[in-house]
Amino acid sequence: MKTALRERFDRLALRLAELDQVLADPATLADNRRWRELAREQAEVAELQSRWARYRCREADLQTARDWLQDPAMAEMASEEIATAEADLSRLEAELQAALLPRDPDDDRNAFLEIRAGTGGDESALFAGDLARMYLRWCERQGWRTEILSENGAELGGYKELVIRVSGPQAYGRLRFESGGHRVQRVPATESQGRIHTSACTVAVMPEPDQAEDIALDPAELRIDTFRASGAGGQHVNKTDSAIRITHLPTGLVAECQDDRSQHRNKAKAMAVLAARLREKDRSERAAAEAATRKSLVGSGDRSDRIRTYNFPQGRVTDHRINLTLYKLQSVLDGELTELVDMLQAARAAEQLAELEAGA
Query: Considering 59, 80, 100, which residue would you say is the last residue of a domain?
Result: 100
pLDDT score of 129: 94
The answer to the question of residue 206 being in a domain is: yes
pLDDT-derived band of residue 238, with 50, 70 and 90 as boundaries? very low
Q: Say yes or no: 88 and 150 in one domain.
A: no
- Same-domain pairing of 81 and 193: no
337 part of a folded domain: yes
**Region 239-266 average pLDDT:** 81
**Is residue 160 assigned to a domain?**
yes
Q: What is the mean pLDDT of the chain?
A: 83
The verdict on 38 and 87 lying in the same domain is yes
- Residue 347's nearest CA partner among 311, 320, 308, 329 is 320
Q: Which of 137, 140, 161, 158 has its CA nearest to residue 149?
A: 161
Range of the domain at 240: 109-291+299-349
Check whether residue 65 and residue 122 sit in a common domain. Answer: no
User: How confident is the model at residue 230, as a pLDDT?
Assistant: 62
Distance CA 165, CA 172 (A): 10
| 318-348 tens-digit pLDDT | 999 999 999 999 999 999 999 999 999 888 8
Q: End of a domain among 74, 100, 126?
A: 100
pLDDT per residue as tens digits for the range 14-65? 888 899 898 888 888 888 888 888 888 888 888 888 888 999 999 999 999 9
Residue 255 sits in the same domain as residue 317: yes
Cross-strand bridge partners of residue 254: 247
Measured in whole angstroms, the distance separating CA 41 from the mean position of its chain's CA atoms is: 21
Pair 347, 321: CB distance under 8 Å: yes
Name the percent of the chain lying above pLDDT 90: 34
pLDDT of residue 310: 96
Residue 123 shares a structural domain with residue 33: no
- The Cα angle at residue 59 between residues 54 and 60, in degrees rounded to 5: 100
Last residue of a domain, one of 100, 126, 145: 100
Predicted confidence at residue 331, as pLDDT, reads 95
Query: In this structure, are 172 and 241 located in the same domain?
Result: yes
Domain presence at residue 88: yes
Q: Rounded to whole angstroms, how far apart are CA atoms 225 and 235?
A: 23
Residue 295: its pLDDT value, please?
44
Pair (136, 282) in one structural domain: yes
pLDDT for 326: 95
State the burial class of residue 213 (Cβ atoms within 10 Å of its Cβ: 0-12, 13-18, 19+).
exposed
**Domain count for the chain:** 2
Are 159 and 281 contained in the same domain?
yes
Contact yes or no for 159/128 (Cβ under 8 A): yes
31 plus 133 within the same structural domain? no
What is the average per-residue pLDDT within 127-153?
A: 93
Q: Does residue 72 surpass a pLDDT of 60?
A: yes
Domain contains 360: no
Q: Do 148 and 280 share a domain, yes or no?
A: yes
